[in-house]
Amino acid sequence: MSAIDDIVDERRRQIEVEGCSPSRDDGYSKGELARAAGIYALIAGADATDYRNARDGYSLGDYLQAIMDHYWPWAKSWFKPTTRRRALVKAGALIISEIERLDRADDGAGQ
């Protein structure tokens, strides 16, 4: 299975299992889907053992937690990272969700 297939399957799972339908996604008009995608991508790209970016006594993990606390748009129980690849698949599916939401909003504005 390809990465694209995995992202499409994850989007389908989000709709069928999590109830994240397009109409529900349309309610997220303040960047929530994009922020969630960004956090999954950031987590996937972060190496928690790499402290070269640590500043003022704070670790990379501290920075990631602060970003999560500030930008994660939903209840923390909805954040379910597992592997780096899986986090990227979730990020990809959330990006698709946001692009489709924007497209629907643009279509509605043009009518």
In sequence order, which residues have a C-beta less than 8 Å from that of residue 30 and are 6 or more positions away? Answer: 73
Of the pLDDT bands very low, low, confident and very high (cuts 50, 70, 90), residue 46 is: confident
Q: In a 3-state reduction of DSSP, which class is residue 55?
A: strand
- Whether the per-residue pLDDT at 17 is higher than 90: the answer is yes
**CA 56, CA 7: separation in Å to the nearest integer?**
38
With DSSP H G I counted as helix, E B as strand and the rest as coil, what are the percentages for the chain, rounded to 5? 65, 0, 30
Number of domains in the chain: 1
Compute the average pLDDT of residues 26-50: 88
pLDDT at 54: 59
Give the range of the structural domain holding residue 13, as residue numbers without chain letter: 3-109
Q: Are 72 and 36 in contact (CB under 8 A)?
A: yes
List pLDDT tens digits, range 75-102. Answer: 989 998 889 999 999 999 999 999 999 9
CA angle 101, 13, 16 (to 5 degrees): 80
Position 48 scores a pLDDT of 60
- The whole model's pTM is what? 0.85
